[in-house]
Amino acid sequence: MNVVLRTPAKIGADTMKEPIIVLNMKTYTEINQGGALRLATMCKQVADETGIEFVVCPQQVDLGLMCNNVDLPVFAQHIDNVSTGSTTGWVTPEAVKSAGAVGTLINHSEHRIGIADISDLITRCRKLNLSSLVCTNDISVSRACAVLKPDFIAVEPPELIGGDISVTTADPEIVRRTVDSIRKIAPEVRVLTGAGVKNGEDVAMAVELGTCGVLLASGVVKSKDPLKTLYDLVSKI
């Protein structure tokens, strides 16, 4: 597939229509050597044809490339609660914003941080007009994060991440209860679900359970036919 250069998207959480599919590319080998840009271009193709909202989260070294060449909302995979300046090796919210990203993941299961840092980062994102997507692993953490009012909360039971069984199949009640708990505290916070999401039935079930979409990774990135998988993801909604 030829990669087409595009004007980067300028879209925030408040303008994203539901359902939303957030694709975390992680650091899989499949996204090296131009793979991330090719995959994002596939997401754009499916988004254009179906009207479904896609968000892509490339690894940090691809962030600027993606923001400058793909007409989709781009989120960073992580940001650090450090000041600008003498903080070698860390990634600041300001740098992510400068690269062109419109949002970021915070507290992913593979990069956990403390609640104080989560709170500070949500505040910094708000000041920068960056959308914040906080990942949580259970209802109690989801409640604590809901008080901080990020733009999104994604519930992902860690034992199901990267597995063959979706959380919507293995434990649909945790999704439903999490949605209800968050809405009681902060109804404006939108809830996503993740962990094991791989096909259209998983996405449809996530929406049925009350979420605004899904956060997924390996089901698409490691697929032998990513474009076919992307079309399948939106086939039931």
4-53: pLDDT as tens digits: 433 444 456 667 888 999 999 999 999 999 999 999 999 999 999 999 99
Which one from 53, 78, 94, 108 is the annotated catalytic residue? Answer: 108
Does residue 3 sit within a domain? Answer: no
Q: Is 108 a catalytic residue?
A: yes
Mean pLDDT of 152-158: 83
Residue 6 within a domain: no
Query: Residue 70 sits in which domain range?
Result: 17-233
Q: Is residue 160 part of a domain?
A: yes
Q: Which of 30, 94, 156, 159 is catalytic?
A: 156
For the cut 90, the answer to whether the pLDDT of residue 200 exceeds it is no
Q: Is residue 50 part of a domain?
A: yes
Q: How many domains does the chain have?
A: 1
Q: Long-range contacts of range 204-210, CB-CB < 8 Å, 24 or more positions apart?
A: 204/236, 204/237, 205/166, 205/168, 205/169, 205/172, 206/19, 206/168, 206/175, 207/18, 207/19, 207/237, 209/168, 209/172, 209/175, 209/176, 209/179, 210/175, 210/176, 210/179, 210/180
Whether residue 209 is contained in a domain is answered as yes
Contact 205, 169 (CB under 8 A): yes
Q: Answer whether residue 120 is part of any domain.
A: yes
Q: Kindly report, residue by residue over 73-97, the tens digit of the pLDDT.
A: 999 999 999 999 999 999 999 999 9
Mean pLDDT, range 170-183, rounded to an integer: 83
What tokens does 62 get?
């691809």
Residue 44 lies in a domain: yes
* CATH number of the domain that residue 109 is part of: 3.20.20.70
